[in-house]
Structure 1
């Protein structure tokens, strides 16, 4: 390793060690005795033992913050698809607690609800399952050490951590007096109860026996059934040993109508043996109850809003309920240009001085008079705004919109947190006329990465990354949030690439924003500024699916493959486009596109891979591989590829080219690893990888090989690049590395660092052993 590379790695590791307290901490929080010297002075092939986050900062939706009611600073954040986190008060950062979830657990990497045992601050429960269905596919994860380790039980119903209404709740609650009892307010299957710490469950048939059918669920867009919304134990005591008798719950109109329930709130005074409907005010008929909370004096505060969110619109109302009477505290009605809903709700104290924090949703921007976080210190008689136009550090107007959860610290009412579409904000001086808010998303990395590209040596940046909702970014430092972006042009991006001969030139493609037709752009200054293509690929707007991708062969020269389209090329940065001779892709029932790759040693060589669709689809075809020798204008098909490959869906496949050798191409087809040394003319199918089958007849539980990347080889390696593959080797899923051209493989990650599944890879061209990976909604990670 050259001295400048040693210095660069040493500096990076020193920064990481300092950030972690000086002794070295992996991303799960555990200490390592490995020394700095052992990591920086050797270039030999060694499996990485540490992973760090490539910083973006927040980036995604945090539907819920969950405080322990009595233990200071015991706080959790659940995300909709990017795992869960625990707050580290000393480090002032969030610690991921679900990084041990593997690829087979990816469907459970989002949390619909979390619950804490008021009597035991080590015990945590988490309900998971990404999308609501008619299947019993939810899980309950249980931890007795604050999420350091988990075990799970299968639940007899479905959940929807990434379905509409995912900020409602918490749906799962622990009885504070008899903590072996848990209630779960499900979306489509009624109320359920466990009496043995969540191990077994039974439906609370005294309230409802109905389980919504597939057709009943599908009647709502995006399976947006809200169903039962919360459970509130009406008690000031804990640990008495006797089950709490008085319990409140709320139910949305979608489930109530199918189950024949006549009320939107219910109450039991005998522990759930019988339930009585509670008449709610007439002006909230059919409304959702996003949050209801109990004050210390037993007063119930209930928010009602028309939509189920995220960022639900109005009209909306906030009432308090003393068990008999409803008192209106605040309301928003639709006006000419505003339609505010209510989301987050939290209370502190009791009586006439009860502090109430109310999150106003569907309120965007930062302007005088805007409601974002409304605060009352007199039980709702008067209100003031404490977030809009208040100081934000760093300065930002990205704190409004989806304020669907607000929490007053139970041990410090001056400390208030709220969520938004991209993380968490907090203030420690809520009583000030203009409270100061700071970004409290440190440690949360919740981007849905679609593409990663590492540049050649000499580039003034480290990584090119594309993702859902947040566009394409150029990462110049791994531990600092990037600032170079195409975000001003469009949001979600699917693919990005760069010119190997001049990495300052790059291009990206994605989905267009509201009222825009921009779906592609380029930069000639390493991402400092971006320009939209003057014209789009002829099919790009009509076929704007997530499989769309492009490659850059040299400056101004791009080949673009939109979903379900014939790729086209440009030699003038998108001023004009010309179709290649590749065959059109027929619809097969799922999104797909040609995967493209540029030969980094010869810009005239371009590779195109059609994975065929999906092996189980009746419309799918055999896979095909093509090579171009004129920069992507015309292609010739490989005569030997189909016999070696397997038909698989687009997301389970990838293609990579050795940047050090012309014509050295690697493909993962979902099942196997394939290698060509002659630009695709002939292929070798490696025997290393194989899928894991079991639960589904339509696809493997875990695919055999899904992603491949090539990076700088260590000194003395038998092959010119280190090859990294995500897949199953010897029956174990993980990231694997080979330094001998695939003759042997070593697992590169471990069971603590699986991130709910790993998809996109990019390998560093400067530092041996440096790999960039994208977790399942878990942002971008790197090995060091």
Structure 2
């Protein structure tokens, strides 16, 4: 029932490269954690095979850590779920390397953004089961432009204690950009003073690859000859795109020749003594403010070529695969992906990048050093059954954008190809009609922005409905089977907000961004629990969409707070909108009361003011102007009138009087990022609460079964997922079940009998 509003609001006053050990596992209730199955849905810029152990592959993602392939189960195992929220910068894997002479050794360079601070080297002696962390003296950009190049990190194939790493060209890291070397297995690093190649002007990917010429040395001694590709504007203009060292990496000089006006993407040396390199040219564009942007990948690459450099004879050879779409000797796409088979001389595979013609991205394989090529897509078949939602715009007929590849050194019929959406695999590569299928089982990289777990209705007991980045969203009828299709009608790329009517869960509303439709639709309504959608009749006050949305308890009113415009409400299923300009600030956090259909709430995080509406969003009053500012979320449990929680960086604050009166801080909680509700524990009257934050002095995922008075951590130090994306909800159907939306590890769900 509606609670009375009080007259007066009460105000609340509210590195040096030292080896670092990973934190110990914390005790907690028995929880089992698994991914809600979607399948890929994120960029996998690099993939490698260990040349000495059959079936051992590693893949790196730009925002979701690294994975190891399990050949016996044909699944991928995540290796970095232990990364905490404080270590978030490590979640973007910039480069990955193995010691060719030791199948247990694995090295990862973690650094998601150049601006996120210095990178970290992760060293494993057991194929990624555990790691030792080494803070590095330079930055890395696992999710920056140019991340399609590689590999920047390499281990000397003759002496495994020697490693080299080539940085990006970020202007803000000029003092540390360049080529770095370790002579003691990665424990300590120093910048190579004799490597003068980087301009540090922010152009290009920087050092795009490092390659050791194994044949120039002998086992147990440092390899004397190695190469580095340079992907900068200066290198393009001067022709100094490739550098060579003959003294183990101490001194370097340019290797002249090869293509002009192109930037090296990837380079590898084969057992035939040739250095193979993929090339592409940048493009540029001008934004609405007149700023010119250089596109050096993974988008905007063109004029691709493939070359090989005969190291012994200092000779270049043009070996680009031929296509009928070659116009005046140039392609409208680039070449980037490259895999040189270490076991079969002259065998290599290359991938196109940014190919948007009728065929789309393809790969070519050669068995004679590039003299002849076979198109691996032209006559191929594609099996999308492992992630059928990918066919919403038509059958799969190519390998996906921004591809990289790896040939199996033990099986010439087997290869993986990565893309902006995951991984494909072929087990009959040498056949006249190669068969490709999704080979990404276990890789979940969706970035989640919204999760709801509605109670059962006449359309079923759907466990979960999700909204994410790049993929729009899904109804998950099963957490173990990939959805058959994403949201459609209208088109959508990002869902930023989603809600349902608490007394009528068939009524669901979503808002977001639309990068695909000729006519932009930024929101939609479902009357059948998310199975089908109808676009808002208009975009209301929104300019570019996005923001937050709330639906009142019976579904008769919708409140929308776009990111870039004044909030608006609709009492007629979004056929028309009423602007709240001058009434509520832009970009407020909003929530509907969980019981009373007349009540909405809003919070201005810039100044800490709380607002309430008792007439379905038409009029508003500031109930409390003294709350803490910069909170992240408002949350209201279903079935509880006047009950609202404010999620902030200093803790959780609670009102049971619609914000009119005192707010009470939850004991023991000193920081909170997200809050959700699920089925109450046996004998409890208040919903179970699930929080991402710090309680009892420990960050984690916490649960309360007594209305927030006490909290227990339900994850552990091996399941932290780089923090979350501040998205969490409990399941109203099953006590103990919780869903977590991450920033690159998909959706995690936890279950427990406790």
Same fold (TM over 0.5): yes
Instruction: State the 1:424 CA deviation.
Output: 0.3
CA distance in structure 1 between the aligned counterparts of 2:187 and 2:548, rounded to whole angstroms: 44
Instruction: State the 1:121 CA deviation.
Output: 1.4
TM-score of the superposed pair, with normalisation by structure 1: 0.83
Instruction: State the 1:599 CA deviation.
Output: 1.9
Does the C-alpha gap of structure 1 residues 516 and 375 become closer, same or farther in structure 2, counting only changes over 3 Å? Answer: farther
Instruction: State the 1:238 CA deviation.
Output: 8.8
Deviations 1:423-471 (CA, angstroms, capped at 9, x unpaired): 0001011111111111011101101101111112335422111111100
**Alignment check: 8 A CA contact 2:463 2:477 kept:** yes
CA distance in structure 1 between the aligned counterparts of 2:423 and 2:470, rounded to whole angstroms: 17
Does the C-alpha gap of structure 1 residues 236 and 428 become closer, same or farther in structure 2, counting only changes over 3 Å? Answer: farther
CA distance in structure 2 between the aligned counterparts of 1:553 and 1:287, rounded to whole angstroms: 59
Report the equivalent of 1:447: 446
Does the C-alpha gap of structure 1 residues 439 and 169 become closer, same or farther in structure 2, counting only changes over 3 Å? Answer: same
Report the equivalent of 2:737: 770
**Alignment check: 8 A CA contact 1:360 1:403 kept:** yes
Pick aligned residue for 2:352 from 330, 348, 360: 360
Report the equivalent of 2:302: 314
- 1:246 and 2:225 correspond: yes
**Alignment check: 8 A CA contact 1:761 1:774 kept:** yes
Deviations 1:10-51 (CA, angstroms, capped at 9, x unpaired): xxxxxxxxxxxxxxxxxxxxxxxxxxxxxxxxxxxx934211
Pick aligned residue for 1:661 from 640, 644, 657: 640
Instruction: State the 1:173 CA deviation.
Output: 0.4
CA distance in structure 1 between the aligned counterparts of 2:572 and 2:497, rounded to whole angstroms: 19
CA distance in structure 1 between the aligned counterparts of 2:714 and 2:117, rounded to whole angstroms: 34
Report the equivalent of 1:596: 590
CA distance in structure 2 between the aligned counterparts of 1:494 and 1:205, rounded to whole angstroms: 47
User: Alignment RMSD, CA only?
Assistant: 2.5
Matches within 5 A, 1:670-681: 670-681=649-660
Deviations 1:708-758 (CA, angstroms, capped at 9, x unpaired): 1111111123x4111111111232110111111121111111111100002
**Alignment check: 8 A CA contact 1:426 1:439 kept:** yes
Instruction: State the 1:415 CA deviation.
Output: 0.5
Q: Which secondary structure state, in structure 2, belongs to the residue aligned with residue 345 of structure 1?
A: strand
Does the C-alpha gap of structure 1 residues 276 and 708 become closer, same or farther in structure 2, counting only changes over 3 Å? Answer: same
Q: 491-500 or 744-753: which moved more?
A: 491-500
**Alignment check: 8 A CA contact 2:689 2:708 kept:** yes
Report the equivalent of 2:429: 430
CA distance in structure 1 between the aligned counterparts of 2:357 and 2:750, rounded to whole angstroms: 38
Instruction: State the 1:366 CA deviation.
Output: 6.2
Q: Which secondary structure state, in structure 1, belongs to the residue aligned with residue 505 of structure 2?
A: coil
**5+ long unaligned stretches in structure 2:** 1-27, 170-176, 283-295, 386-394
Instruction: State the 1:229 CA deviation.
Output: 1.1
Does the C-alpha gap of structure 1 residues 530 and 306 become closer, same or farther in structure 2, counting only changes over 3 Å? Answer: same
Does the C-alpha gap of structure 1 residues 554 and 334 become closer, same or farther in structure 2, counting only changes over 3 Å? Answer: farther
**Alignment check: 8 A CA contact 2:594 2:643 kept:** no
Report the equivalent of 2:580: 580
CA distance in structure 2 between the aligned counterparts of 1:141 and 1:103, rounded to whole angstroms: 17
Pick aligned residue for 1:504 from 499, 503, 506: 506
Report the equivalent of 1:191: 179
**Alignment check: 8 A CA contact 1:772 1:782 kept:** yes
CA distance in structure 2 between the aligned counterparts of 1:552 and 1:56, rounded to whole angstroms: 30
Pick aligned residue for 2:673 from 701, 706, 712: 706
Pick aligned residue for 2:253 from 276, 279, 286: 276
**Alignment check: 8 A CA contact 1:361 1:403 kept:** yes
Deviations 1:612-671 (CA, angstroms, capped at 9, x unpaired): 1xxxxxxxxx211112222222222223xx43x3221xxx61121121321111111221
Q: Which secondary structure state, in structure 1, belongs to the residue aligned with residue 265 of structure 2?
A: coil
CA distance in structure 1 between the aligned counterparts of 2:357 and 2:197, rounded to whole angstroms: 44
Report the equivalent of 2:269: 294
Report the equivalent of 2:702: 736
CA distance in structure 2 between the aligned counterparts of 1:238 and 1:507, rounded to whole angstroms: 64
**Alignment check: 8 A CA contact 1:226 1:255 kept:** no
Instruction: State the 1:137 CA deviation.
Output: 1.4
- 1:114 and 2:108 correspond: no
Q: Which secondary structure state, in structure 2, belongs to the residue aligned with residue 130 of structure 1?
A: coil
Pick aligned residue for 2:69 from 82, 87, 99: 87
Matches within 5 A, 1:384-423: 384-388=374-378, 390-394=380-384, 396-397=395-396, 399-423=398-422
- 1:382 and 2:365 correspond: no
Does the C-alpha gap of structure 1 residues 139 and 334 become closer, same or farther in structure 2, counting only changes over 3 Å? Answer: farther
Does the C-alpha gap of structure 1 residues 330 and 261 become closer, same or farther in structure 2, counting only changes over 3 Å? Answer: closer
CA distance in structure 2 between the aligned counterparts of 1:582 and 1:752, rounded to whole angstroms: 48
- 1:523 and 2:526 correspond: yes
**Alignment check: 8 A CA contact 1:265 1:277 kept:** yes
Equivalent residues, number: 686
Does the C-alpha gap of structure 1 residues 76 and 237 become closer, same or farther in structure 2, counting only changes over 3 Å? Answer: farther
Q: Which secondary structure state, in structure 1, belongs to the residue aligned with residue 114 of structure 2?
A: coil
CA distance in structure 2 between the aligned counterparts of 1:69 and 1:236, rounded to whole angstroms: 15
Deviations 1:653-698 (CA, angstroms, capped at 9, x unpaired): 112112132111111122110011112212433254566xxxxxxx
Matches within 5 A, 1:141-152: 141-152=122-133
Does the C-alpha gap of structure 1 residues 204 and 585 become closer, same or farther in structure 2, counting only changes over 3 Å? Answer: same
Deviations 1:549-606 (CA, angstroms, capped at 9, x unpaired): 44354446321110143211112222110123763536xxxxxx11121223222211
Does the C-alpha gap of structure 1 residues 384 and 312 become closer, same or farther in structure 2, counting only changes over 3 Å? Answer: farther
Does the C-alpha gap of structure 1 residues 398 and 750 become closer, same or farther in structure 2, counting only changes over 3 Å? Answer: farther
Does the C-alpha gap of structure 1 residues 608 and 152 become closer, same or farther in structure 2, counting only changes over 3 Å? Answer: same
Deviations 1:233-257 (CA, angstroms, capped at 9, x unpaired): 1014998211000101111124648
Does the C-alpha gap of structure 1 residues 656 and 242 become closer, same or farther in structure 2, counting only changes over 3 Å? Answer: same
- 1:634 and 2:626 correspond: no
Instruction: State the 1:318 CA deviation.
Output: 0.7
CA distance in structure 2 between the aligned counterparts of 1:444 and 1:461, rounded to whole angstroms: 23
CA distance in structure 1 between the aligned counterparts of 2:234 and 2:132, rounded to whole angstroms: 30
Q: Which secondary structure state, in structure 2, belongs to the residue aligned with residue 302 of structure 1?
A: strand
Pick aligned residue for 2:260 from 270, 285, 291: 285
**Alignment check: 8 A CA contact 2:354 2:361 kept:** no
**Alignment check: 8 A CA contact 1:366 1:389 kept:** no
Matches within 5 A, 1:7-156: 47-133=29-115, 137-156=118-137
**Alignment check: 8 A CA contact 2:456 2:462 kept:** no
Q: 547-556 or 160-169: which moved more?
A: 547-556
Does the C-alpha gap of structure 1 residues 398 and 506 become closer, same or farther in structure 2, counting only changes over 3 Å? Answer: farther
Q: 468-477 or 326-335: which moved more?
A: 326-335
Does the C-alpha gap of structure 1 residues 88 and 554 become closer, same or farther in structure 2, counting only changes over 3 Å? Answer: same
Q: Which secondary structure state, in structure 1, belongs to the residue aligned with residue 263 of structure 2?
A: coil
**5+ long unaligned stretches in structure 1:** 1-45, 587-592, 613-621, 692-703
CA distance in structure 1 between the aligned counterparts of 2:676 and 2:411, rounded to whole angstroms: 49
CA distance in structure 1 between the aligned counterparts of 2:730 and 2:532, rounded to whole angstroms: 25
- 1:232 and 2:224 correspond: no
TM-score of the superposed pair, with normalisation by structure 2: 0.86
CA distance in structure 1 between the aligned counterparts of 2:740 and 2:533, rounded to whole angstroms: 25
Q: Which has the higher contact order (CA 8 A, sep 6+)?
A: 2
Report the equivalent of 2:536: 533
Deviations 1:379-415 (CA, angstroms, capped at 9, x unpaired): 2222222124521112642744424311101111210
